[in-house]
Amino acid sequence: MNAPKTEKSDNSHDPRLDDDCPLHWFDADRGAFEDLERRIAEHPADFFASQDFDPVGACATREAQFASVDLPEDPTAPQAHADHLLHDVFRHVMPVASPSFVGHMTSSLPSFMPSLAKIVAALNQNVVKLETSGALTGLERQVIGMLHKLVFAREGDFYAQWLHNPEHSLGAFCAGGTTANLAALWASRNNVLRARDGFAGVHNAGLMAALRHYGYDGLAIVVSERGHYSLRKAADVLGIGRDNLVPVAVDGDGRMRIDKLRDTLGDLQASNIRTMAIVGIAGSTETGAVDPLDAMADVAQEAGCHFHVDAAWGGATLLSERERGRFAGIERADSVVIDAHKQFYVPMGAGMVLFRDPAWTQEIIQHANYIVRKGSVDLGRHTLEGSRGAAAVMLYANLHLLGRKGLARLIDTGIDNAKFFAGLIEQQADFELDSRPQLCILTYRYVPEPVRTALVSASTPAETREQIQQALDALTISIQEMQRDAGRSFVSRTQLTSSQWGGRAIAVFRVVLANPDTTRDILQGVLAEQRALAARSPMLAPLMALV
Amino acid sequence: MNAPKTEKSDNSHDPRLDDDCPLHWFDADRGAFEDLERRIAEHPADFFASQDFDPVGACATREAQFASVDLPEDPTAPQAHADHLLHDVFRHVMPVASPSFVGHMTSSLPSFMPSLAKIVAALNQNVVKLETSGALTGLERQVIGMLHKLVFAREGDFYAQWLHNPEHSLGAFCAGGTTANLAALWASRNNVLRARDGFAGVHNAGLMAALRHYGYDGLAIVVSERGHYSLRKAADVLGIGRDNLVPVAVDGDGRMRIDKLRDTLGDLQASNIRTMAIVGIAGSTETGAVDPLDAMADVAQEAGCHFHVDAAWGGATLLSERERGRFAGIERADSVVIDAHKQFYVPMGAGMVLFRDPAWTQEIIQHANYIVRKGSVDLGRHTLEGSRGAAAVMLYANLHLLGRKGLARLIDTGIDNAKFFAGLIEQQADFELDSRPQLCILTYRYVPEPVRTALVSASTPAETREQIQQALDALTISIQEMQRDAGRSFVSRTQLTSSQWGGRAIAVFRVVLANPDTTRDILQGVLAEQRALAARSPMLAPLMALV
């Protein structure tokens, strides 16, 4: 049976409203927003390429635009507000869907995504509980199950037994990778310090009581020095402390060194610090490096600690038959984080945490009288977050509309493009590749030929070499900012310990090639633009004076 | 200057694709989704009222639909997938926008919201940093400033000084109220155990080291027994422990008792437990009760502890000149949480945390080389979450298109409707009002007249009275589930200590009147339907046998 048919409100006959203050609720004047939809959402890359669009100076000039803290008293007419949004807001966002903006992890989206986002917003379901989400509760569990199988491929009747079991969960959607990592490490902490022998467990008694009961002086999370900053935040939030996120050195390819990992575990044990979790990075944010997951799983197993894999960026690589071998060992993790809003190409923000064993969520389960009741199938019983939108629908659609093969094509294309670009950089006499792409990310910098000659020459004093490196850092930063401000193209930048320069931290350009519309011509254009910008940079002359 | 114009991809000429696996990326076949948009997003309440729509049995029947964990290998044609989404998914969601579904905190949305959600998804900005959000960074700070002024109304040049100050933040958007409460209490914990005298602070050294340094045996958060379950979760996540979220008894109107609060603080001090925060509820989830905030602020000030107000539900009431007096004292809070996806009528999920003093965010600040750099205006430096979508745009649009007066009208209408419905219930001989509406929420139950007579009669033995209450609980649950399963209308239910029944916890219907299209006829229909369902409920006979 159906809900009763309602009349659309008509302001002129609505007893709630008076003429002085029309309420734009279900009014008829939606044309303004439909026009905005056509101009922007039809094909965002075209909007970004149009004459209207102007990302330049969005920071400096925008503060004046957004200075008032007074609430508007009266309603603004829809057309006037739509015009304002177009001219003062959307015209000055960042063109992340532009194929020449290759510095971000969010790129372009499939064409049907904005439509689906509109429908999801209109339905406004809340997946925290069945009563506000209906079929979407089952759909989210299925999508989590699909991803779980992609990662863990559990056998027998595992999925038949657990997929829709209300007392358990194979994982959850989260707002993003940060909350997904936090959720995984929350479950980890609550498992390692769980209830036993009359002790109520860390979740009930708190961390000090738990550490006293277990006889530890602290907990530690061990991760490579390339771990995402969200892990440090998680260590802070969970009461473990940022100093107890212990970094392990990486090899020349940016992968955790297993010998250093073993040293670290030994040191922690000697200090009576319990290693709560070892975290593997499967696609580092800065260079796309993938840790030796299988060897790390061995160490975690020996040490009897949680093995977590942060695959927020790289996880989608598992879709590619050609590339998934790089992730061998991920199926041995206790928990894995993957972001759908990265290489699964759904809109912001959709992270996922997956638990190998459904019992893991027992330590974070909760309930309330008015929601997420005991015994219910409500998803909110097992999640860090409470009320949530139906982000799972977007991923569900992409998995079907693109298929595994289509998504794999996107992954492979990105990696092919990264290899092409790395080769192109190596062919240039005045560019230096810093990190070779494992996935579709790479780093490099502009180094004029005489500078490179001086840097590698045995006759250049160490002090001069260091001065050159500092001047190169300044030039790299200058070029990146000039390129950003010109608004034609974009690469990001970071600072990385460089194995080819004796472990010195150097500033580098960082490129992420996730947009399938990024052509090889565009990449050649990025280098040409950077070379031209270098010639105009005020940081070039001080550098050249050193050689 | 603008990004280069790109050609729209045409699959037939795309070298990335082969005929065996067409990639639905920017393909032409978007008609299927545009049709879905028209059917659903144009006017969701009409969709919910259409013959197609069928929420009944969404739980039981849907598990079979969502059982497979195998990823689809090949792409599905857009029309086929759109049909599948309509018939197997969207047709079976919950009609939260229907005016007869009065049990949820998410109701209907202004007509332009789905369009705006489509545009925001297409732009796919990430407000974690300026480089991926442009003007939206300034816009979010402005919206936070507007809400900050609504709550705190700081004077002088406060907003000119702080609104766009990169080193500080007046608050943040969060995925929802749960993460917003967590963020506020995270800042609270890090402030109370901050760095001093050579101690590195809880954020660096962890909770055990911090409590040892400060000489406490634990931390506590004090809140009324009606506090939202997200606070218990926050106490768990932060390492404080769920047992250290200490509940304080409420009065007959569901408001925290100040005498009991003082007792609690005394008990905690005697146990060497530091009271970290006192939490006021401004619109409880179950009954909409507002704590005596001003008196609580006095107590928090005397005790020298953080005063946090959870106004996730009720915060929007501040927009109403008529009603905002109920919140007197909220301006003295150190932090306040408000959800935009509740009575600010934006789509899921948009929570906000606001800090009275911008210095509060100093204890949670972070940075990384590749993102949220020191000195940058990047919003991600001050947030619990990392990458986030531009939810602030939705609230910005509602504040302008409805205006403060329009939003206030919605608030006042909801409260008026709740008062009307409470009066209607009191006129019925066979319904019992349990909580009188302070905001637009109320609770009640169905009590046949002879049962009520027996309950209040001095001659009924206490044991029989208790049997009657148990049978009434069973009847209430039965009616609520029958009504839900019939699918014509919906009220939620909860279990509350009842002052009129000597503090016994009783099951009650819970109604939230936030949808402005809910007419008084619909409310009369809800009672008529419940009366009819009661007559058919198998739980009626066992109840009547007791009287």
User: Facing residues of B497 across strands?
Assistant: B505
Please tell me the distance from the alpha carbon of residue B91 to that of residue B54, in angstroms, as a whole number: 6
Q: Which of A51, A58, A78 sits opposite B134 (nearest CB)?
A: A58
Average pLDDT, stretch B176-192?
Answer: 96
Answer yes or no: do B406 and A109 touch at CB < 8 A.
no
Position B428: which residue type?
A: Q
Rg from Cα positions in chain A: 26
Which residue would you say has higher pLDDT here, B391 or A106?
B391
User: Facing residues of B432 across strands?
Assistant: B445
Does residue A62 sit in helix, strand or coil?
helix
Confidence bin at A21 (pLDDT 50/70/90): very low
Percent of chain A with pLDDT over 70: 92
Confidence bin at B19 (pLDDT 50/70/90): very low
pLDDT of residue A61: 57
pLDDT per position as a tens digit, A353-379: 999 999 888 777 766 666 666 777 888
Nearest CA in chain A to B493: A370
CB-CB contact of A497 with A401 (8 Å):
no
Q: Which residue carries 């309602």 as its tokens?
A: A6
Res. A56: pLDDT tops 70: no
Which residue would you say has higher pLDDT here, A505 or A3?
A505
CB-CB contact of A152 with A354 (8 Å):
yes
Distance from CA of B358 to the nearest CA of A (A): 15
CA proximity to B472, closest of B442, B454, B448, B496: B448
Helix intervals (H) in A220-344: 229-237, 258-270, 293-303
CB-CB contact of B434 with B487 (8 Å):
no
pLDDT of residue B4: 42
Res. A71: pLDDT tops 70: yes
Selected for mutation to probe chain A from B237, B367, B488, B526 (highest A CB count within 10 Å) is B237
Res. A85: pLDDT tops 70: yes
At the second CATH level, the architecture of B418-545 is Alpha-Beta Complex (3.90)
How does the average pLDDT of chain B come out, rounded? 91
- Residue A349: asked if its preceding bond is cis (omega within 30°), the reply is yes
Confidence bin at B8 (pLDDT 50/70/90): very low
Selected for mutation to probe chain B from A385, A441, A491 (highest B CB count within 10 Å) is A385
pLDDT of residue A46: 87
pLDDT of residue B25: 62
> What distances in angstroms separate CA A319 from CA A308, A314, B20, B69, B73, one per listed residue?
20, 10, 17, 14, 10
Q: Which residue carries 């000030």 as its tokens?
A: B301
Nearest CA in chain A to B417: A16
CB-CB contact of A120 with B117 (8 Å):
yes
> How many Å from the N-terminal Cα to the C-terminal Cα in chain A?
82
Within 8 A of A488 by CB-CB distance, chain B residues are 1-4
Average pLDDT, stretch B26-55?
Answer: 82
Percent of chain B with pLDDT over 70: 92
pLDDT per position as a tens digit, B487-514: 899 999 999 999 889 889 999 999 999 9
Q: Which of B72, B118, B126 sits opposite A117 (nearest CB)?
A: B118
At the second CATH level, the architecture of B126-389 is 3-Layer(aba) Sandwich (3.40)
Which residue would you say has higher pLDDT here, A237 or A368?
A237
Distance of CA A10 to the CA centre of its chain: 44
Res. A18: pLDDT tops 70: no
pLDDT of residue B175: 93
CA B493-B496-B502 angle, to 5 degrees, is 140
Answer yes or no: do A238 and B237 touch at CB < 8 A.
yes
Q: Which of A30, A58, A68 sits opposite B135 (nearest CB)?
A: A58
pLDDT per position as a tens digit, A382-405: 889 999 999 999 999 999 999 999
Tokens of B496: 């509350």
pLDDT of residue B43: 86
> What distances in angstroms separate CA B449 from CA A26, B455, B465, one per listed residue?
42, 10, 15
pLDDT of residue B367: 66
Percent of chain B with pLDDT over 90: 77
In the β-sheet with B351-355, what is the strand arrangement from edge to edge? Answer: B171-174, B351-355, B335-339, B306-310, B273-281, B218-224, B245-248
Please tell me the distance from the alpha carbon of residue B37 to that of residue B41, in angstroms, as a whole number: 5
Within 8 A of B26 by CB-CB distance, chain A residues are 43, 110-111, 517
Please tell me the distance from the alpha carbon of residue B107 to that of residue B95, in angstroms, as a whole number: 9
Q: Judging by DSSP bridges, how do beta strands B335-339 and B306-310 pair with one another? A: parallel
Does residue A47 sit in helix, strand or coil?
helix
Please tell me the distance from the alpha carbon of residue A358 to that of residue A362, in angstroms, as a whole number: 8
Within 8 A of A347 by CB-CB distance, chain B residues are 120-121, 124, 389
User: Facing residues of B309 across strands?
Assistant: B280, B336
Which residue would you say has higher pLDDT here, B227 or A15?
B227
In sequence order, what are the residues at sequence separation of 6 or more whose Cβ sits closer than 8 angstroms to the Cβ of residue A304? none
Count the neighbouring beta carbons within 10 Å of the beta carbon of residue B486: 15
User: Facing residues of B199 across strands?
Assistant: B196
In the β-sheet with A273-281, what is the strand arrangement from edge to edge? Answer: A171-174, A351-355, A335-339, A306-310, A273-281, A218-224, A245-248
Confidence bin at A487 (pLDDT 50/70/90): confident
In sequence order, what are the residues at sequence separation of 6 or more whose Cβ sits closer than 8 angstroms to the Cβ of residue A260? A248, A249
The answer to whether the predicted template modeling score (pTM) of the entire model surpasses 0.90 is yes
Helix intervals (H) in A25-101: 31-36, 44-49, 58-65, 78-84
Within 8 A of A33 by CB-CB distance, chain B residues are 112, 115-116
Hey, where are the domains in chain A?
126-389, 418-545
Please tell me the distance from the alpha carbon of residue A208 to that of residue A215, in angstroms, as a whole number: 10
Q: Which of A28-32, A532-536, B216-220, B396-400 has the lowest mean pLDDT?
A: A28-32
pLDDT per position as a tens digit, B405-456: 999 999 999 999 999 999 999 999 999 999 999 999 999 999 999 999 999 9
Please tell me the distance from the alpha carbon of residue B230 to that of residue A178, in angstroms, as a whole number: 18
Selected for mutation to probe chain B from A30, A118, A232, A485 (highest B CB count within 10 Å) is A118
pLDDT of residue B421: 98
Within 8 A of A286 by CB-CB distance, chain B residues are 369-370
Instruction: Give me the numbers of helices (H) and strands (E) for chain A, helices first please.
Output: 19, 11
Average pLDDT, stretch B267-273?
Answer: 97
Percent of chain A with pLDDT over 90: 77
pLDDT per position as a tens digit, B338-384: 999 999 999 999 999 999 999 888 777 766 666 666 777 888 888 89
pLDDT per position as a tens digit, B95-149: 999 999 999 988 889 989 999 999 999 999 998 888 888 899 999 999 999 999 9
pLDDT of residue B32: 86
Q: Judging by DSSP bridges, how do beta strands A218-224 and A245-248 pair with one another? A: parallel
Tokens of B158: 């406060």
pLDDT per position as a tens digit, B450-499: 999 999 999 999 999 999 999 999 999 999 999 998 889 999 999 999 98
pLDDT per position as a tens digit, A326-345: 999 999 999 999 999 999 99
CB-CB contact of B193 with A206 (8 Å):
no
Torsion of CA B40, B42, B44, B50, to 10 degrees: -70
CB-CB contact of B458 with B542 (8 Å):
no
Answer yes or no: do B208 and A206 touch at CB < 8 A.
no
ipTM of this complex prediction, to 2 decimal places: 0.93
pLDDT per position as a tens digit, A432-476: 999 999 999 999 999 999 999 999 999 999 999 999 999 999 999
CA A323-A324-A328 angle, to 5 degrees, is 130
Q: Judging by DSSP bridges, how do beta strands B351-355 and B171-174 pair with one another? A: antiparallel
Three-state SS for B374-404 is CCCCCHHHHCCCCCCCCCHHHHHHHHHHCHH
Torsion of CA A163, A169, A175, A180, to 10 degrees: -120
Average pLDDT, stretch A234-243?
Answer: 97
Res. B24: pLDDT tops 80: no
Please tell me the distance from the alpha carbon of residue A365 to that of residue A385, in angstroms, as a whole number: 12
Res. B27: pLDDT tops 60: no
